Amino acid sequence: MIDRKIIAIVGATGAQGGGLARAILSDPNGGFAVRAITRDVKSEKAQELARLGAELVAADLDDRESMKRAFAGAYGAYCVTFYWSHMSPEKEVAGAKVMAEAAKSAGVKHVIWSTFADTRKLVPLTDNRMPTLMGKYKVPHFDTKSEADHFFTDLGVPVTFLHTSFYWDNFIAMGMGPKKGLDGKLSITLPMGDKKLPGIAAEDIGKCAYGIFKKGPEYIGKSVGVAGGHLTGAQMATAFTREMGQEVSYNEVTPDAYRGFGFPGADDLGNMFQYNRDFEQAFCGDRSIDVTRLLNPALLTLDQWLARNKNAIPVA
């Protein structure tokens, strides 16, 4: 019997945590075991992880004590928050604090915290190129994560700050896939100008996290960014055209137009894309594809991801 290191995974039934859970479970001799944290151990997704060999533990970020119990005895913890399920800066920060405290109380040896850099370092609130949102943020779902980084360091928790990228899965689930215009032609709409957007298959984020846990101390106290590709809107459209077998063009809009689309979070995403566009070099530079591939040799390119997922992309 191998003595395996338990990784407690928040969001194990979701995109990032699910990728990590499946990466560990598909490597039975890797020396790690999965503790999948879910609010509902009976759900189909949780049960599927159990069938693959995960331990299931019920806990909720809104319940501090449940999270402490869920981290107890774990070697590592994958910590992620769920901004889009509440869109509340206060909840985002509170959730991170709960996880940092749970990791401290359990004496976890290695935490990976899925976070972002604070956009206000490059775009202070006085910079009017993009609106200030909720009174004190430029990109709320980035800035609030960054604001929570200190909970881990203040408590002396051994932490790796993982900077993720735009999920290509948003082309499936977030309604960002190709849409038919009045002329009947397909296009993807982004406010990126001719700049490159780091993107990644969501599943690969978890595989990278597994790579970080395997490397262990080398990554503690460090930040690492991951991406499967740095692509312009035009390059993404070309990949869609190639893989979908029909022409898809890049419909470039301004960040202002994007913010005005009116869906919940459009202003936050408009600012995010504008930040990615205006600071292309810093944003891509923080997300080396070579480093990502070292962590996850199976890293997909956009073409490879599209080849596997094109049939799931709704074409409206």
Ligand X SMILES: NC(=O)c1ccc[n+]([C@@H]2O[C@H](COP(=O)([O-])OP(=O)(O)OC[C@H]3O[C@@H](n4cnc5c(N)ncnc54)[C@H](OP(=O)(O)O)[C@@H]3O)[C@@H](O)[C@H]2O)c1
Q: Is 276 in the site for ligand X (CB under 6 A)?
A: no
Q: Which residues ranging from 223 to 242 are in contact with ligand X (CB under 6 A)?
A: none
- Cβ proximity to ligand X, 29 vs 85, nearer residue: 85
One of 21, 33, 49, 61 touching ligand X (CB under 6 A)? 61
Question: Where is 77: in which H helix or E strand?
Answer: strand 76-79
| Residue 83 sits in the site that holds ligand X (CB under 6 A) | yes
- By CB under 6 A, is residue 271 in contact with ligand X? no
For ligand X, the closer CB: 138 or 141: 141
CA 122 to CA 244: how far, in whole Å?
A: 37
Q: How far apart are CA 150 and CA 282, in angstroms?
A: 22
Q: Is 80 in the site for ligand X (CB under 6 A)?
A: yes
Contact flag: residue 164 with ligand X (CB under 6 A): yes
- CA distance between the termini of the chain: 52
Q: Identify the residue whose tokens are 């055209």.
A: 241
CB–CB of 273/197 below 8 Å?
yes
Give which of 18, 22, 287 is closest to 166, Cα–Cα.
287
Q: Kindly state whether residue 17 participates in binding ligand X, applying the rule CB under 6 A.
A: yes
Q: Report yes or no: 202 and 169 within 8 Å, Cβ to Cβ.
A: yes
Q: Would you state the structure tokens that stand for residue 116, as one six-digit string? A: 């972002």
Q: How far is the CB of 164 from ligand X (least distance, A)?
A: 4
Could you say whether residue 133 binds ligand X (CB under 6 A)? no
Task: Please list every residue from 18 through 57 that binds ligand X, using CB under 6 A.
Answer: 38-40, 43, 46
Strands 223-225, 159-163: pairing is parallel
CB burial of 132-171 (b: ≥16 within 10 Å; e: otherwise) equals bbeeebbbbbbbbbbbbbebbeeeebbbbbbbbbbbbbeb
Residues that bind ligand X (rule: CB under 6 A) add up to a total of 26
Q: How far is the CB of 239 from ligand X (least distance, A)?
A: 17
Indicate which single residue of 71, 167, 275, 283 sits in contact with ligand X (rule: CB under 6 A): 167
Query: Of 13, 119, 146, 232, which one interacts with ligand X (CB under 6 A)?
Result: 13
Residue 261 makes contact with ligand X by CB under 6 A: no
Of 57 and 130, nearer to ligand X (C-beta) is 57
- d(CA 140, CA 125) in angstroms, rounded, equals 12
Among 6, 8, 9, 14, binds ligand X (CB under 6 A): 14
Instruction: Name the site residues for ligand X (rule: CB under 6 A).
Output: 10-11, 13-17, 38-40, 43, 46, 60-62, 80-85, 141, 164, 166-167, 170
